[in-house]
Structure 1
Amino acid sequence: MTDGVEYKRLAGLPGLVLGVGRFKEFSFERHYHLDYHVGLVTDGVQRQCVNGEAVLLGPGRVSLMPPGEIHDGAGESGNAYTLKTFRLSGDLLRDVAAEVTDSDHREPGLNGMMLEDRTLAAQLLQLHDAMRLSPDASALCVQSEWLSLLHCLFARSGAIKPVAIKGALSPVHWQRLKDYCLFHLAEKITLDELATLCGLGRFHFLRRFKQTIGMTPHAWLLRLRLERACSLLARGKPTIAEVAQGVGFYDQSHFNRAFRQAFGVAPSAY
């Protein structure tokens, strides 16, 4: 195994840096950061020393490291491990905290800690991979997961008080959303656009949409695209590639996988 680190910045999310490091020989000497770190290990174990106490970061755990916290890091017993990190600037933290709470733009009081939560760790790793591999950080699924998981992370750490958002979307707003999505089905549809249609912030819109429909906006829109694809395929005239593009899939292989997962057959067999 060769030691190495890769970093990625996302144009749609200034203040966020994603990191993937694979280490065996390399060890982190005592250091600190000016931004906030969320760390996850996918295989192996990293031993950290924080405030004179040794802690182990392995699969199923989430490391929360605030600015200024002095720590180190090395593979447990000299073994290799893979570390994935979210680096969040203070400005980004304040923006997200303001969006998922009813507070002003004060930076949340995030403390250093180790969370033992396999479900949350798996969801964060899935989001990390999606953000790192996606060319577009403003995609509906990415933005939705980003806000929801950060809200969960802040709440679990005690940095914020969870917001109780009650009530559903009004019939007017719901009809407006359906009409907009059907009209723009072949185009990219963002969380910002849908929330603006209802006059809501993105996080409040996510919660109200889920309470109204019982699905996330991304899952509902994906199903709408696939149902519309069935109607087009039944006509027998457009090609599969034309159908995929016409309902908003820019990658035909992605369309084929989604269609098979939803209906049990490939589009060509429908």
Structure 2
Amino acid sequence: MSRYQTFDILQRANAQLRDTVHLNSGIQLAAWFNRGVRVTNLSDHHTLSLYIADGYDTWHKTSHGWRNGGGPDRFCLMPAGTESTWDVRADLSFVHLYCTEIQLRQLAEQTWDRSPAQLNLDQQVFADDDRITQLYRHFLLSCDWQQPANQLMLSSASTLLLTHLLRQYSEVQWQLPQVRGGLAPAVQRRIIEFIDAQLDQPLTLAVLAQEAALSEFHFARMFRYAMGEAPHQFVMRRRMLRAQQLLVQSQLPLTEIALRCGFYSASHFSNRFRQVHGVSPSVYRKGVG
């Protein structure tokens, strides 16, 4: 598991860590709150930062003096080896995504089936990008990071974010490959069987793509073409279907059903089940009993 220097720098600066998760790919997400801190960042990895709330009195040191421009949905991109100094004078809530140069290059090679000669990200400070905001808010901020059932959504969103960074903020100006058609019938059957057999596990996009012998980029798009929905949507629907079956066909306690469907807490399972079916699992069980 990668140890990210920016994460350690913020902890030493007494920033408040509100949540963090390591994805199976090695990428790390971290949600922070900061106030009244001046910190210099220099690391051997890339950091993508999105301001979630406040940040209006956050300042960045430039060669011409201090500059501010923070606020909700502004983002900063701090490439590996780039030093930056920040003065957070008032409240700032933000999310970081950390990845290594190796991880980013592997993603580029898997997506385009070739290796870029150069792979340098462009530093961005207090920038706007609707695509980054959409992915952060719709995926990363909409679920409980600690629930294994959400790993697939988190890993899918992280892959989309990094692919976007490669295309918009690096020398890699290649068009995304065209994906025509879906998964071969035999591969589709194997993936569905694999998913159904692993519903109690924290499935990720990398795991499913490896099972299909495809890159994450190609797998995600071919799966959507074949199934009519994204992998994380399909997997969550299968988890809910398994839960329905167990509620009707067994007398297992809700905690056990939650675990068998990939949820590590009965409360999270109940909340998700209620979102989908409009009633709690216990009410659903009584209604069909």
TM range (shorter): 0.7 to 0.9
SS in 2 for 1:85: strand
Partner of 2:254: 240
Paired AA for residue 4 in structure 1: N
Residue pairs, 1:44-193, within 5 angstroms: 44-45=55-56, 46-52=58-64, 54-75=67-88, 78-104=89-115, 108-114=119-125, 115-118=127-130, 120-121=132-133, 123-124=135-136, 133-134=145-146, 139-160=151-172, 161-167=174-180, 168-193=182-207
Residue equivalent to 2:10: none
Structure 1 residue aligned with 2:225, among 211, 221, 230?
A: 211
Deviates more, 1:35-44 or 1:255-264: 35-44
Deviations 1:50-88 (A, max 9, x none): 45373523211111122344443223xx43333443343
Q: CA deviation at 1:132?
A: 9.6
How far did residue 116 of structure 1 move?
A: 0.7
Say whether the 8 Å CA contact 1:90–1:107 is kept in structure 2: no
- 1:28 aligns with 39
Q: Indicate the SS of the match to 1:165.
A: coil
Instruction: Summarize the alignment of residues 213-228 of structure 1 with structure 2, pairs less than 5 Å apart.
Output: 213-228=227-242
- The answer on whether the counterparts of 2:152 and 2:203 sit within 8 Å (CA) in structure 1 is yes
Amino acid aligned to 1:251: S
Q: Which residue of 2 aligns with 1:40?
A: 50
Over 3 Å counting, the alpha-carbon distance change for 1:138 and 1:204 in structure 2 is farther
| CA RMSD in angstroms, aligned pairs only | 3.4
Call closer, same or farther: CA 1:106–1:96 in 2, change over 3 Å.
Answer: farther
How many residue pairs match? The answer is: 264
Residue deviations 1:238-261, cap 9 Å, x none? 333333333333321121111101
CA apart distance, 1:147: 0.9
Give the deviation of 1:6 after TM superposition.
Answer: 5.2
In structure 2, the CA distance between the partners of 1:159 and 1:59, relative to structure 1 (3 Å rule), is farther
Over 3 Å counting, the alpha-carbon distance change for 1:130 and 1:261 in structure 2 is closer
Q: TM-score, normalised by structure 2?
A: 0.75
Asked whether the 8 Å contact 1:44–1:58 carries over to 2, the reply is: yes
The CA distance in 2 between the partners of 1:237 and 1:137, in whole Å, is 23
What is the Cα deviation at residue 156 of structure 1?
Answer: 3.0
> CA 1:173–1:257 in 2, change beyond 3 Å: closer, same or farther?
same
Percent identity among equivalent residues?
Answer: 23
Q: What whole-Å deviation, never above 9, does each CA across 1:133-164 have from its counterpart, x for those lacking one?
A: 43869932322221122112322325432422
For residues 66 and 204 of structure 1, the distance between their equivalents in structure 2, rounded to whole angstroms, comes to 26
Question: For residues 183 and 12 of structure 1, what CA distance do their matches in structure 2 show?
Answer: 19
Which whole-Å CA distance do the structure 2 matches of 1:183 and 1:33 have between them? 40
**C-alpha deviations, 1:16-51, integer Å up to 9, x for none?**
574735122x2236x644432322223222221345
Contact 2:27 2:97 in 1 (8 A): no
Secondary structure at the counterpart of residue 104 of structure 1 = coil
- Could you say what secondary structure the match of 1:205 adopts? helix
Measure the CA separation in 2 of the matches of 1:190 and 1:17: 15
Structure 1: gaps (5+ residues): none
Structure 2 residues not aligned, in runs of 5+:
1-12, 285-289
Q: Does the 8 Å CA contact 2:148/2:201 hold for their aligned counterparts?
A: no
Task: Give the corresponding residue for 1:255.
Answer: 269
